[in-house]
Structure 1
Amino acid sequence: MPAKPPPAPADQQSSVAAIRRLAEQGYEATTAGDLADAVGMSRSTFFRRFGSKDDVIFADHDHALAQLEGFLGATDLDPGEALVEGTADVLRLLVRDPEAARLRFELMHDTPALRDRELVITHRYERVFARYIRRVQQPATPGWVAPALAASLVAVHNATLRDWLRDRIADAPRAVTRDLHRLVALYERWLSDEGDRQRVLVAVYDASGSADAVLGAVAAQLGRESR
């Protein structure tokens, strides 16, 4: 059976109401009928729009994955910047409704079955990133680079999201953007051809000067280049 499409963004308020009911009654104790009542729909309408209980909880991730794939497939940004922006956009989507984000976090913390699906979602993000990285990486890039960087992008994202949920940081998108720039810098040699280019150093000196004077001019130019 094909995967059920995520509910449209216009259903966000209903999705939050359903997640709130799940948090209040508990995942196992809540039926699809309870969720339909919570959002003011018939059971058949609820199933058409949202699918299962799990689908309600993970709807934002389905939107985020679709958004990420579309962005990486169309962007003209430098690969490192594209990875930073794409990951930060995922986080912006997931934290746009703080109540829903916190309720979802509590549900997953208390429900082993949801943690299993969260792991599946994590692997889906990693596959999206790895496909893009393989497409844009430099020739002769080691095979481990794409999966390693993909997993690291997801790890940084998830760590930032957890810090935000626990009130350790206030601006999650800003924090994740900063940390992701640090991460992709470690992989720059495989994402950009800049690392393989030789730098050309131009130093102007008096041809009649001594060897020490020439070396001094070169050293001074190197100092300016490094700043």
Structure 2
Amino acid sequence: MPNASTTADDPADFRVHVVAVSIRLFAEQGYESTTVEQIAAAAGISRRTFFRQFGAKEDVIFADHESLLDQVAAHLDGAGGDPWVAVCSAAELVFGHFRAAREMAVRRFHIVQGVPALRDRELVTTYRYQRLFEDFLRTRLPGESPVRIVGYAAAVTGAHNYLLRAMIRGDDDATLERLRTELDHTRIAFDGWADLSDGPRSDAADRDLATTGTVVSVVTYPAGTPPAEIMRQVGEQLRGDRDDRGQ
């Protein structure tokens, strides 16, 4: 593990180093039994430096998120193309970070679950990613429905967090590829939402559908089929209908 002297030139590495040290001590000694002085000594920094950089013991366990949030913001700022896709790739960036640091993520998970104040702090930290996604979409898509933006950001964040926790628990299926697939399904579902953004059809509009030859897609599936699989089938059927109509 790097020491403070080898990470001093890189603030992000320095924070990750101190976070890793604190999480190790919390896991070995218990959160309540570990003091700031012990963390500072193990990290090779002074008590004064610890407080200047991290504020308090309850702050340090999530301090690496600050650097990660900066990385996500930079990723979104530099993203071109489809903003909806950019949000998904940002979520993949976060997942990849914790996948690479799984041991630390597992230790943090167990510590946080045992301390109510830390569980509350984790919720706030999680929401900061969602808010970053929302702000990005509002900036790139100023005419978009606020409800759709909030819903999409929440859906992406929720899918990410579910698979992140599954990965931490040791689920071999909780991979970056699985996350990418689920986020693709989310985009398909929200594309359908956009098609309905003008509001429900009137009776006259329903009659128009019957007389203009518009194709209605019907998807059948066994009871208990996961929602993501249903959305995938719907998306494929809709794409096939468009192809049949030469659109």
- TM (norm. structure 2) is 0.69
Match of 1:150 in 2: 153
Conservation of the 8 A alpha-carbon contact between 2:15 and 2:64? no
1:12 positional shift: 2.8
| Aligned partner of 1:187 among 162, 183, 190 | 190
| Aligned partner of 1:30 among 10, 24, 34 | 34
Question: For the structure 1 residues 222 and 22, does the alpha-carbon distance in structure 2 shift closer, same or farther, using more than 3 Å as the test?
Answer: closer
Match of 1:125 in 2: 129
Is the counterpart of residue 77 in structure 1 residue 117 in structure 2?
Answer: no
> What whole-Å deviation, never above 9, does each CA across 1:66-90 have from its counterpart, x for those lacking one?
1111211221131222111111001
Match of 1:17 in 2: 21
Q: Please give the alpha-carbon distance, in whole angstroms, between the structure 2 residues aligned to 1:61 and 1:83.
A: 17
Q: Please give the alpha-carbon distance, in whole angstroms, between the structure 1 residues aligned to 2:23 and 2:243.
A: 59
Question: For the structure 1 residues 11 and 136, does the alpha-carbon distance in structure 2 shift closer, same or farther, using more than 3 Å as the test?
Answer: closer
Which of structure 1's runs of 4+ aligned residues deviate more than 4 A? 189-192
1:49 positional shift: 4.0
1:54 positional shift: 2.6
**One-letter identity of the residue aligned with 2:162:** A
Q: Please give the alpha-carbon distance, in whole angstroms, between the structure 1 residues aligned to 2:243 and 2:31.
A: 63
Match of 1:208 in 2: none
**One-letter identity of the residue aligned with 1:127:** R
1:100 positional shift: 0.8
Question: For the structure 1 residues 222 and 29, does the alpha-carbon distance in structure 2 shift closer, same or farther, using more than 3 Å as the test?
Answer: closer
- TM (norm. structure 1) is 0.74
Q: Which has the larger radius of gyration?
A: 1
For structure 1, the 5+ residue unaligned runs are: 1-5, 193-220
Match of 2:50 in 1: 46
1:172 positional shift: 2.7
* Higher RCO (CA-CA < 8 Å; seq separation 6+): 1
Match of 2:140 in 1: 136
| Aligned partner of 1:87 among 91, 94, 105 | 91
> What whole-Å deviation, never above 9, does each CA across 1:86-126 have from its counterpart, x for those lacking one?
11001112232122111111111111001111111122112
1:52 positional shift: 2.2
Is the counterpart of residue 161 in structure 1 residue 176 in structure 2?
Answer: no
Q: Please give the alpha-carbon distance, in whole angstroms, between the structure 2 residues aligned to 1:117 and 1:64.
A: 16
1:35 positional shift: 0.8
For structure 2, the 5+ residue unaligned runs are: 1-9, 196-241
1:173 positional shift: 2.0
Conservation of the 8 A alpha-carbon contact between 1:36 and 1:43? yes
Match of 1:176 in 2: 179
Q: Please give the alpha-carbon distance, in whole angstroms, between the structure 1 residues aligned to 2:11 and 2:193.
A: 38
Question: For the structure 1 residues 26 and 7, does the alpha-carbon distance in structure 2 shift closer, same or farther, using more than 3 Å as the test?
Answer: farther
**One-letter identity of the residue aligned with 2:176:** P
Question: For the structure 1 residues 29 and 222, does the alpha-carbon distance in structure 2 shift closer, same or farther, using more than 3 Å as the test?
Answer: closer
Conservation of the 8 A alpha-carbon contact between 2:19 and 2:62? no
2:150 partner SS: helix
Q: Please give the alpha-carbon distance, in whole angstroms, between the structure 2 residues aligned to 1:123 and 1:45.
A: 28
Question: For the structure 1 residues 69 and 189, does the alpha-carbon distance in structure 2 shift closer, same or farther, using more than 3 Å as the test?
Answer: farther
Conservation of the 8 A alpha-carbon contact between 2:106 and 2:169? no
Question: For the structure 1 residues 150 and 38, does the alpha-carbon distance in structure 2 shift closer, same or farther, using more than 3 Å as the test?
Answer: same
